[in-house]
């Protein structure tokens, strides 16, 4: 799970949480399963134009103001889902999900009605859809967080969907109330679209990685608090109490989120503390020797400040096979966490039915 945005501040407060120096290779069990044939076929045909469209450059400095504004907008929308949705373990009830055009809350209950809020990063619109057929839409453009908040609340009011949310952002230092935030007001359509396209690819590959595991596992989902996409595997055993200390997030929420042993994989676009987009992988609790584990590819390293393995996004997007490079990182970091953490790896490995053989016999 990924529950912080000012990651450096969070880790200065506690050293045992994630949420890379190399030593000897871990024994056993690296999954060298090939990527799916569909992925292999498209990668064989990938030219420079296709690569840039699918895995676009996302330099943090070029869109940092848009990133900060969009972070606050997703928090507003995410908090609407939070207050209307029954609690699900590890705060899985608050997240957003990738769509073919942006991000969505998925259906949200409101009395006997249901509604959904969708970010569209193709036409750059926010849409609210209600189960009685009602809809509202407004353009995503340069506007303050306060104005965006007012527009969302007004649209919900017009649809007879009154909602009250906590107005203070979570997981950031020096938060400004949404209804008073005139500071964050940038929206670069090109970079908002690039960010979404990166999430599309990460979501796709994360789901491939998720399919190899048959234990308890989170969906691939977007945490608006920490502003990252993540998927988390669970060992099935309880974890020691988490120390907490994440800015503007109750320790009780953090402790419930990390109440079980996990290995988590994610994508994060960066912030001022680490101004570049990265893929990351961490374990909680972190087993002895995890920070010295040999992982793939060679460009991956352990960041002692964040207590996680990181792989620069640019390494993945410029690789001959971005999918395979990212899957190597995902698998090798999970192997390190699960082997050193003494997980029951054999019991947690998905054994897929031989669908091809079944079809050939029918």
Q: What is the pLDDT along the chain (362 residues), one digit of tens a residue?
A: 444 333 433 333 333 333 332 232 233 333 334 444 445 445 545 788 889 999 999 999 999 999 999 999 999 999 999 999 999 999 999 999 999 999 999 999 999 999 999 999 999 999 999 999 999 999 999 999 999 999 999 999 999 999 999 999 999 999 999 999 999 999 999 999 999 999 999 999 999 999 999 999 999 999 999 999 999 999 999 999 999 999 899 999 999 999 999 999 999 999 999 999 999 999 999 999 999 999 999 999 999 999 999 999 999 999 999 999 999 999 999 999 999 999 999 999 999 888 755 544 44
Q: Which segments within 207-326 are labelled E, that is strand?
A: 221-223, 228-238, 260-268, 278-284, 301-303, 308-312
pLDDT score for 291: 98
How many other CB atoms sit within 10 Å of the CB of residue 118?
19
φ/ψ (deg, to 5) at 126: -110, 130
* Among 245, 330, 317, 250, CA closest to 58: 317
| Helical spans, DSSP H, in the chain | 7-13, 37-44, 48-54, 60-84, 145-158, 189-210, 251-257, 313-317, 322-340, 345-348, 355-361
DSSP one-letter code for 13: H
**pLDDT of amino acid 21:** 29
Structure tokens at 262: 């996990």
Strand, coil or helix: 70: helix
Query: Do strands 113-120 and 97-98 pair parallel, antiparallel, or not at all (unpaired)?
Result: unpaired
Q: What is the DSSP letter of 27?
A: P
What does the pLDDT read at residue 268?
98
Q: Pull the structure tokens for residue 104.
A: 């969505």
What is the structure's pLDDT at 361?
40
Residue 217, phi then psi, degrees to nearest 5: -150, 140
d(CA 4, CA 7): 6
| Global confidence as pTM | 0.87
Distances (CA, A) of 290 to 278, 282, 309, 326: 19, 9, 9, 19
Rounded to whole angstroms, how far apart are CA atoms 94 and 198? Answer: 21
Alpha-carbon Rg for the chain in angstroms: 21
Say if CB 312 and CB 278 are below 8 A apart: yes
């Amino acid at each position: 799970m990924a529950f912080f945005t000012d990651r450096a501040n969070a880790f200065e407060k506690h050293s045992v949480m994630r949420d890379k120096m190399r030593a000897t290779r871990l024994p056993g069990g690296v999954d060298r399963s090939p990527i799916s044939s569909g992925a292999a076929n498209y990668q064989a045909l990938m030219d420079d134009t296709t690569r840039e469209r699918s895995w676009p450059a996302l330099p943090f400095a070029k869109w940092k103001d848009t990133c900060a504004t969009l972070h606050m907008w997703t928090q507003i929308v995410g908090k609407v889902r939070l207050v209307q949705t029954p609690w699900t373990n590890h705060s899985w009830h608050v997240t957003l999900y990738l769509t073919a055009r942006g991000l969505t809350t998925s259906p949200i209950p409101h009395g006997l009605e249901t509604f959904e809020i969708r970010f569209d990063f193709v036409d750059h619109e926010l849409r609210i859809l209600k189960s009685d057929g009602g809809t509202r839409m407004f353009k995503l453009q340069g506007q303050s967080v306060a104005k965006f908040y007012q527009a969302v609340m007004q649209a919900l009011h017009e649809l007879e969907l009154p909602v009250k949310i906590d107005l203070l952002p979570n997981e950031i230092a020096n938060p400004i109330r949404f209804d008073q935030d005139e500071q964050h007001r940038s929206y670069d359509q090109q970079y908002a679209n690039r960010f979404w396209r990166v999430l599309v690819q990460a979501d796709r590959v994360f789901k491939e990685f998720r399919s190899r595991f048959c234990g308890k596992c989170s969906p691939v989902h977007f945490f608006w608090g920490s502003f990252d996409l993540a998927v988390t595997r669970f060992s099935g055993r309880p974890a020691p109490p988490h120390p907490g200390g994440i800015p503007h997030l109750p320790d009780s929420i953090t402790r419930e989120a990390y109440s079980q042993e996990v290995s988590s994989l994610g994508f994060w676009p960066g912030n001022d503390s680490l101004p570049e987009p990265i893929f990351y992988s961490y374990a909680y609790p972190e087993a002895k020797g995890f920070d010295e584990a040999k992982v793939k590819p060679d460009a991956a390293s352990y960041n002692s400040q964040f207590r996680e393995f990181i792989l620069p996004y640019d390494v993945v997007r410029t690789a001959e096979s971005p999918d395979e490079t990212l899957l190597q990182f995902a698998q090798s970091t999970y192997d390190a966490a699960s082997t050193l953490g003494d997980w029951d790896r054999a019991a947690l490995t998905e054994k897929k039915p031989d669908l091809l053989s079944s079809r050939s016999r029918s």
